Amino acid sequence: MIPPSFDYYSPSSFSEAVKLLAELGEDARLIAGGQSLLPMLKLRLIRPKAIIDLFKVKGLSHIREKGRYLQIGSLTTERSIERSPLIRKGCPVLSEAASHIGDIHIRNLGTVGGSLCHADPSADLAPTLLALGATFTVKSIKGSRVIDSRDFFAGPYMTHLSSNEILSQIQVPKFNRDTSGAYVKLMRKAGDFAIIGAAVVLHLDQRGECQQCSIALCGAAPWPVLSERGSQVLLGSRLTDVEIARASELAKNDADPISDIHASAEYRREMIPVIVSRALRQAKERLGGGA
């Protein structure tokens, strides 16, 4: 299908982009890699009066270290996240999650900021960043603010960004030697969105006991969710089979799945323990069981 007509803007600087967005307001949409917006335009699911293309804006595509954190520009492609030596060393679960997105052509164009702001409940990066405790820096003509990943998503395809704000950077804590993670995804075929996805981040002490645990889900609710009950029950444990099974079952209680053409809510709910269990086991194995 042919998208509806719109005015097109291509700012060359971030200040120009936020100024345009402030002037055009809710009538405008931002485009980064276009892997989410263009299909919606072609299907006429949205009809913006203006499109602001961020492709030429400098300073929004980077991956760098700053102390105990990695900073990722919002226009950084998913392929760059998948292949970055800094991310593979400092936060490998994020590279793992990026490798599950679509195919290589999509990852070469799709951006981390575009994926997060599109806020598809079944997207791969969102639960991983949620489990990592990432923070998002957003800017407007009024200044900048930092949003915790737990407060970013407002619903399916909805965020807590205001109409004049642009996501500029994501910051994630780096792993230390006692931290591990895993992302496991149930899908119909390679490259699909998740029917259920689980991101896990673990920190074990030298005795192999769990000191920190985060379990985040996608495809399990109208937005990415943390399983507080599943995470809490593992604290102080050695992640035995029984304890992993219990945490995986509790994760169902933090979910609110929907039915769609891909899977029923009942099927999604029953698959949550399976996928969470696999993710927990993988994360544990990558630490050698805490030895």
- How would DSSP label each residue in the chain? -PPPP-EEE--SSHHHHHHHHHHHGGGEEEESS-TTHHHHHHTTS---SEEEE-TT-TT---EEEETTEEEEETT-BHHHHHH-HHHHHH-HHHHHHHTTSS-HHHHHH-BHHHHHHHT-TT-SHHHHHHHHT-EEEEEETTEEEEEEGGGTEEETTEES--TT-EEEEEEEEPP-TTEEEEEEEE-SSTTPPPSEEEEEEEEE-TTS-EEEEEEEEESSSSS-EE-HHHHHTTTT----HHHHHHHHHHGGGG------SS--HHHHHHHHHHHHHHHHHHHHHHTGGG-
Beta-bridge mates of residue 217 = 198, 225
- The one-letter amino acid code at 49 reads K
Distance between CA atoms of residues 176 and 182, nearest Å: 15
The pLDDT value given to residue 289:
47
The pLDDT value given to residue 290:
41
The pLDDT value given to residue 288:
77
CA angle, 158 then 161 then 163, to 5°: 100
As averages over each run of 10 residues, the pLDDT of the chain (291 residues) reads 88 95 92 91 91 94 97 98 97 97 94 96 96 97 96 95 95 95 94 94 93 97 95 96 97 92 94 98 83 36
The pLDDT value given to residue 291:
36
Kindly report the pTM of this predicted structure.
0.93
